[in-house]
Amino acid sequence: MVSLDSLSARQIVTGVSKGEFSATEVARAALDAISVRDGEVGAFLQVSGDLALAAAARVDAARRAGEEMPPLAGVPVAFKDNMNLLGTRTTCASRMLASYQSAYTATCVQRMLDAGATPLGKLNMDEFAFGSTTDSSAFHPTNNPWDTARVPGGSSGGSAAAVSAGELTLALGSDTGGSIRQPASLCGVVGLKPTYGMVSRYGVVAFGSSLDQVGPFGRRVEDVALAMNALVAGGRDPHDTTSQACEQDFLACLDEGCEGRAIGVIPALLEAEGLSDEVRAAMRQAEERLVGAGARIVEVELPNMASAIAAYYVLGPCEAFSNLARYDGVRFGYQEDGCATLAEQSALSRAHGFGAEAKRRQLLGAYLLSSEMYESYYLAAQKVRTLITADYQRAFAHVDALLMPTSPTVAWEHGAISDPAQLYLADIFTISSNIVGNCGISVPVCLGADSGLPIGAQLQGPAFADARLLALARALERSCGMEGLVAPAFAGRGGELG
């Protein structure tokens, strides 16, 4: 018998197309894996078994009719719970939206469905994507499959954990300051933040509109490339004014390798405060692997990168304050009963509907956008954004990609970090690419020498060079031998085909 978690997305598509197994069999295997494994992981907020089996049946019927198989035929996928999907709730892991039923399907979700993927449900996250642990979910925390006493990262922790535990093959997350790449590193999977505008955000509940980007998780770079082909199929989305047409085929140059490519490194980052010794050692090992695969290492500087986290925690809360103002207990969201006035109802609905971190960021955003503070903080942060963008442009004039840590440490235990400012530093290496809109990917490179937990290296590329970035990531993945990882405690537990 074949275990689903041993199959790549391409192998599933090939098997379904050839009739070696049906899409329905794959869907049932995935639902079985979720049933057996997710009680310990807690990656899902809602399992959409009926939707999954119906979608799989359509793929099987198309095959029997002799139709051409779609590019993700029968591949199990699930979605971060800030993405609308008809027939499911979209809660953003918040009490504020606990009963909200999706009124339509997000473009990114629809494109995965159009490609033949099987929708398994909605995945846990930090409330409204505010966090780095998935502990701020209003419903339950998600555990890291490599050690269930530890966090999976966030805010797309459910997406990373579900892929890491072998519950599905692909997942979608969103990345506003590292929320795909950081949990990918902590859970030992591949996570891509595409260039801003490459993937439509229509139907994705907004956190920071100039920062958010949807991207895929997989256990292999190739799986992520397949997902990206589906996400950009159909071109620009007219429902999203920031959406851009993309002509790239992410599989076409995937095996080009890194021979002769220039990879930039920033020596100062390896001396950053909070960077653990085992992550530092992993980055040096990643450099050596890339050199062994034919790349050149070039030292570059991003002199304003140290200011990125300060700028982000001005821009992000300001945009969050604006985007979450609609949840007032009248138009959208949780509604407090028994109030004497509309003002009281709105105040109590927001007070009781939002969790602590969501309140903290909105209050900060309101303060920073006040007339007294606007020029000193918001306008200054936008100027820093311009400086960081210029730094990247100068660096990419000399190198094809930048190599840096994804997370300063491996996954930590639930509750080990309670200071919000310390938690914000978990994204210190990822935030800058959101500020400028470049692409970035985290690839597992080794297990920590001390912890035995996965460590990811991050590659960042210039805007709309995502296909080339994936080729470099594929070369790094092959040189490190970490392809197709499933957390050992969950491998082979349920999810068998046949």
Contact criterion met (CB below 8 Å) for 229 and 108: no
Give the model's confidence band at 435: pLDDT under 50 very low, under 70 low, under 90 confident, else very high.
Answer: very high
Contact of 414 with 421, CB cutoff 8 Å:
no
Alpha helices in 115-241 (DSSP H): 157-164, 181-187, 221-232
424-434 pLDDT, tens per residue? 999 999 999 99
Per-residue confidence (pLDDT) for residue 498, from 0 to 100: 76
Distances (CA, A) of 402 to 38, 103, 393, 441, 451: 36, 41, 12, 11, 26
Q: Where are the domains of the chain?
A: 2-259+466-497, 323-379
Query: What does the pLDDT read at residue 273?
Result: 87
- Peptide bond just before 376 cis, omega within 30 deg: no
Q: Give the three-class secondary structure for 413.
A: strand
SS3 category, 113: helix
pLDDT digits (tens, 9 = 90+) for 68-100: 999 999 999 999 999 999 999 999 999 999 999
Which pLDDT score is estimated for 2? 79
The C-alpha atoms of residue 55 and residue 71 are separated, in whole angstroms, by: 14
Number of Cβ within a 10 Å radius of residue 358: 27
Q: What does the alpha-carbon distance between residue 85 and residue 72 come to, in Å, rounded to a whole number? A: 18
Mean pLDDT over 390-400 rounds to: 98
Question: Which residues are known catalytic residues?
Answer: 80, 155, 179
For 191-224, write each residue's pLDDT tens digit.
999 999 999 999 999 999 999 999 999 999 999 9
Q: Mean pLDDT over all residues of the chain? A: 96
Query: Looking at the DSSP assignment, which residues form a beta bridge with residue 150?
Result: 413
CA distance 172 to 298: 33
Asked: is 2-259+466-497 a CATH 3.40.50.720 domain? The reply is no
pLDDT band at 1 (very low <50, low <70, confident <90, very high): low
- What separation in angstroms does the CA of 24 have from each of 27, 186, 390? 5, 32, 50
Write down the pLDDT at residue 99.
94
| Predicted local distance difference test score (pLDDT) of residue 332 | 83
The 10s digit of each residue's pLDDT in 251-269 is: 999 999 999 999 999 999 9
Residue 315 has pLDDT above 80, yes or no: yes
In angstroms, the first-to-last Cα distance of the chain is: 6
On whether the CB atoms of residues 154 and 133 are closer than 8 A, the answer is yes
pLDDT at position 247 is 81
Q: What percent of the chain has pLDDT over 70?
A: 100
The pLDDT tens digits for 464-496 are 999 999 999 999 999 999 999 999 999 999 999
Q: What average pLDDT score do residues 277-300 get?
A: 98
Tell me the percentage of the chain whose pLDDT exceeds 90: 95
Least confident of 19-23, 152-156, 494-498: 494-498
